[in-house]
Structure 1
Amino acid sequence: MVRASRGEAAPGMWRREAGTVVRRAVAVPEQAVAPFAISARLRIPRVPTEWALHSHPLHELFWVRGGTLTSRVGDRVFTVFEGHGLWMPAGVVHAGRATAGAEFHDALFTPDRTPFAFGEPKAIAMTPLLESLLAHLSRTDLDAPARARAESVVFDVIEPSRHQFALQLPGDPRIDAIAEALLDDPADGGSLEEWAQRLGISDRTITRAFRQATGLSFAQWRQMLRVHRALMLLSEGFDVMTVSEALGYAQPSSFIAAFRRVMGTTPGAFFDAAREASGNVRNPVSHVQNS
C-alpha cells in the first residue's frame, strides 16, 4: 500500500517532507536469499519515502549515498548517512524514511548462515571494501564458489562504527509532548520554565523525567536532537550557516560549538573523516565558517 503525505508529523520521527510516499513494507520471505547467505540490492527513491512499521525474518544492513535515512526502533531514532550503515536484526520492528534521490542500499543476511550476531540495531562502518563486496554480491551471475568467497570476507570485515547515532526518545507521557514538539521543530528554543508552564507541571519534574528516561538533562537532550538533525541536513548539502539558522542558533559558531560538544569535533572535520573512511571525495559540508 502506498499513500502520499502532505507534510504532517509522524510520531517519534522528523516532520515529513511534502510529497512523501508512505509504504506499508512487507516482510521479506526467507527464500529471498536462499541458497545464499547474503543478498544485496539498490533502490533510488525518486521522492521522499517512508516505510511503515515492519520486521523481516532476515537480518538487514542498509546504508545510503547522496542523502540520509532515519529509522525508528521503539523509543530510539537512528540517523544513517554516508560512510555508515545500520544493522537491523531479524525480527526487530522498525520504521524508516529516506530522502528523495538517495541511493538506498540494503543487504539481507540469512540468520542461520551468519556467523555473528548483533542483538540490537547497530551503526556499521561502511568501508570501501565492505561496500565493494556487497555490490559484488548484488550480481546475479556469480557462481557458488565466488559468492561463498565474497560472503566469507564480508563476515570478516563488517564492524560496528565508532559512532552509534541513536537518539533516545523519552517514552514518558509527562514529557513526550516536548520530544514530539522538538522533533517537529528542533529550533524551538522554549526554556525549561516555559515548557513547565505549558504542560502544567514543575520544571523539576521535567528535569527528573528527562534524566530517568534518557540519561540526559533537558538541555543536553535538545542539543543531541539538534545534532542528529544537523547530520541529516549537512549530509543533504546544506551549508553550516543555513543549518545553524534552521536549528535555532544565533550564529554558526554557537552551532559548531554545540556539535563539537556532542560529536567531539567540528562538522567539517567530522564529515572529512567520514568521507575519507568511505572513500567518497564529496564533502557535504560547506567550508564557510566551519573551522
Structure 2
Amino acid sequence: MARTSHAAAEGNPGMWRREAGTVVRRALALPERAAASGAITACSHIPRVPTEWAPHSHPSHELVWVRGGTVTSRVQDRVFTVSEGYGLWMPAGVVHGGRTTAGAKFHDAFFAPDRTPFAFGEPRTIAMTPLLESLLAHLARTDLDDAARARAESVVFDVLQPSEQQFTLRLPPGDGRIDAITEALLADPADPRSLEEWARALGISDRTITRAFRQATGLSFAQWRQLLRVHRALALLSEGFDVMTVSEELGYAQPSSFIAAFRRVMGTTPGNVRNPVSPVHNS
C-alpha cells in the first residue's frame, strides 16, 4: 500500500488526526429494536470510508468493537484506541466522539441501564472473548423469543469483563507551556523534534516541559510521544500498511526501533497485530 500523506490529512485541533475522505456523522443512531423487551440490542455494519462521529451521548450503555480495523474514541482529555480482540464500554450519558477506519466491520451493542446488573462508571476497554462475541452476534438476530434472549443476556452479563490493561492516551488539558507540542504531535506523530529542540523553540527549559507532561499525563515527553505513536500505529496496521511503512510514517529511523517501542507498550509485535492468528488479549 502507498505511504499515507500528512499533507492529505485534515487537522482536527485537540483531537487525533483526521484522514482525507473521512465522513463526519452527528451521532451513532440506536437500532430500531432498542426499545424491545430485551436488555441488549446488538447490530453491525461496515463503513466504506473512514467515519467519525461528532461528540454525543446515549441514554443506554454502549459497547463497540471492530474486526479488520480500529475504533478510536475521545472522552474529555482521554483517547481510547481499540483494535481486534478488544471493545470499548461507554457508560450511558457520557459525551464522546468516535472514529473508525474504512472497511472495518463495526459492531455495536446497547445495554438498557435499568436492566443491566452492573455498571462501569468510566469508559473501559473490554476483553472481547470469542464467547462474548458469539453471544452478542446471537443477540443481533431478530427471530429470538424473549426466553432465548433472556438466557443469552444472562451469560453476557456473566462473561463481560474489563481488559487487564486499559490502553488510553491522556491529553494534556490546555497547558500553555506544552500546548504547541501536543498539537504538533497530534497532527504529525512523526515530528522528530527532541525535548531540547522544543525547549529552545518555546523559550522554556526542558525541565519545565518534562514537569508539565508529568503533571498532566503522568508520563515523560518521550513516553507520551511513544504512546501516541503506538495509538497511530494500531490504526495504520489495521488498514493493511506493512511494518516498514508504518515505521517510516511514524518517524522511526529503523523498523527495529519501531518494533521494540511497540512491543514495550503492547506486549506483542506490530506484525502480530497486522496479521493476527487469533484475538490478542494482552495489550
Deviations 1:67-87 (A, max 9, x none): 111100011110011111100
Distance, in Å, in 1 between the alignment partners of 2:42 and 2:153 is: 11
Comparing both chains, which one has the higher relative contact order based on Cα–Cα distances under 8 Å and sequence gaps of 6 or more?
A: 2
- Paired residue for 1:123? 125
Is 1:124–1:160's contact at 8 Å kept on the other side of the alignment?
Answer: yes
- Paired residue for 2:4? none
* Percent sequence identity over aligned pairs: 79
Aligned pairs for 1:91-102 within 5 A: 91-102=93-104
Give the structure-1-normalised TM-score.
0.88
Distance, in Å, in 2 between the alignment partners of 1:31 and 1:143 is: 13
- Paired residue for 1:253? 256
- After TM superposition, where is structure 1 displaced by more than 6 Å over at least 4 residues in a row? none
- Paired residue for 1:268? 271
Is 1:33–1:108's contact at 8 Å kept on the other side of the alignment?
Answer: no
Q: Cα offset for 1:162? A: 2.5
Q: Cα offset for 1:160? A: 1.2
Q: Cα offset for 1:216? A: 0.7
Aligned pairs for 1:72-221 within 5 A: 72-171=74-173, 172-221=175-224
Distance, in Å, in 2 between the alignment partners of 1:26 and 1:138 is: 17
Is 1:30–1:57's contact at 8 Å kept on the other side of the alignment?
Answer: no
Q: Cα offset for 1:30? A: 11
Q: Cα offset for 1:26? A: 6.3
Runs of 5+ unmatched residues, structure 1? 1-5, 280-291
Distance, in Å, in 1 between the alignment partners of 2:113 and 2:78 is: 24
Deviations 1:74-119 (A, max 9, x none): 1111001111110000111100011111111100000111111111
Is 1:256–1:267's contact at 8 Å kept on the other side of the alignment?
Answer: yes
Distance, in Å, in 2 between the alignment partners of 1:119 and 1:218 is: 29
Distance, in Å, in 2 between the alignment partners of 1:37 and 1:65 is: 24
Give the structure-2-normalised TM-score.
0.90
Q: Cα offset for 1:154? A: 0.5
- What residue identity is the alignment partner of 1:160? P
* Larger displacement relative to structure 2 (258-267 or 67-76): 258-267
Q: Cα offset for 1:62? A: 0.2
- What residue identity is the alignment partner of 1:175? I
Three-state SS of the structure 1 residue aligned to 2:278 is helix
Describe the shift of the 1:41–1:31 C-alpha distance in structure 2 as closer, same or farther (beyond 3 A). closer
Distance, in Å, in 2 between the alignment partners of 1:187 and 1:70 is: 19
- What residue identity is the alignment partner of 1:108? F
In the alignment, which of 228, 243, 248 is matched to residue 246 of structure 2? 243
Three-state SS of the structure 2 residue aligned to 1:213 is helix
Distance, in Å, in 2 between the alignment partners of 1:271 and 1:33 is: 38
Are 1:35 and 2:34 matched, yes or no? no
Q: Cα offset for 1:238? A: 1.4
- What residue identity is the alignment partner of 1:212? Q
Is 1:128–1:278's contact at 8 Å kept on the other side of the alignment?
Answer: no
Is 2:70–2:83's contact at 8 Å kept on the other side of the alignment?
Answer: yes
Describe the shift of the 1:29–1:67 C-alpha distance in structure 2 as closer, same or farther (beyond 3 A). closer
Is 2:70–2:238's contact at 8 Å kept on the other side of the alignment?
Answer: yes
Three-state SS of the structure 2 residue aligned to 1:254 is helix
- Paired residue for 2:26? 24
Distance, in Å, in 1 between the alignment partners of 2:31 and 2:231 is: 33
Distance, in Å, in 2 between the alignment partners of 1:158 and 1:34 is: 21
Distance, in Å, in 1 between the alignment partners of 2:33 and 2:180 is: 42
Deviations 1:228-278 (A, max 9, x none): 111221222211111111111111111111112222333335667x64247
Is 1:75–1:170's contact at 8 Å kept on the other side of the alignment?
Answer: yes
Is 2:37–2:146's contact at 8 Å kept on the other side of the alignment?
Answer: no
- What residue identity is the alignment partner of 1:188? D
